[in-house]
Amino acid sequence: GQQVMQIPQYQHVQEGEDFTTYCNSSTTLSNIQWYKQRPGGHPVFLIQLVKSGEVKKQKRLTFQFGEAKKNSSLHITATQTTDVGTYFCAAPDRGSTLGRLYFGRGTQLTVWP
C-alpha cells in the first residue's frame, strides 16, 4: 500500500522560532492532507493539497506540495504555545476509489515559552 514517511518524529522549539515537518513518498500522490492533533485530543483536518507545486497558507501555517507530487511540507512561522501537538500528513491509497488514507507517523511539536 501507499506509504508516506514523515520527519522529524519530534521537534522542540522555543516560542517564536519556526518549525517545519516534511512528508515524502516514493510514488506520485494524487493529493495530500494535513492534520493536527492537540495533546489529549483527536486529529483535526487542516488542509488538502491537490495540484503540483501548490502552496496554501493558513495564518502562520504554510503548506506546500512538491512539483513532482511526491513530497509535502508544513511550515509554521513564529511558533506559539498554541501550536503544540502532533502534525500528520496523509495520502490516499493509489488506484483505489474507496477513500482510504495512509498516515505518516506524525511530528510531535513541543513549544517552550
Partner 1 sequence: DVKVTQSSRYLVKRTGEKVFLECVQDMDHENMFWYRQDPGLGLRLIYFSYDVKMKEKGDIPEGYSVSREKKERFSLILESASTNQTSMYLCASHERRGFGGYTFGSGTRLTVV
Say what the alpha-carbon torsion angle 41, 106, 74, 103 is, to the nearest 10 degrees. -100
Of the ranges 12-20, 44-52, 58-66, 69-77, which one interacts with partner 1 (CB under 8 A)? Answer: 44-52
- Smaller CB separation from partner 1, 5 or 78: 5
Q: Is 45 in the site for partner 1 (CB under 8 A)?
A: yes
Q: Is 30 in the site for partner 1 (CB under 8 A)?
A: no
C-alpha cell, 14: 522555543
Distance CA 108, CA 87 (A): 6
Q: Is 106 in the site for partner 1 (CB under 8 A)?
A: yes
Of the ranges 20-28, 51-59, 75-83, 98-106, which one interacts with partner 1 (CB under 8 A)? Answer: 98-106
SS3 82: helix
Of the ranges 11-19, 22-30, 62-70, 91-99, which one interacts with partner 1 (CB under 8 A)? Answer: 91-99
In Å, how far from its chain's centre is CA 112? 21
Minimum gap (Å) between residue 16 Cβ and partner 1: 28
- Distances 8 to 24, 52, 106 between C-alpha atoms, Å: 11, 23, 8
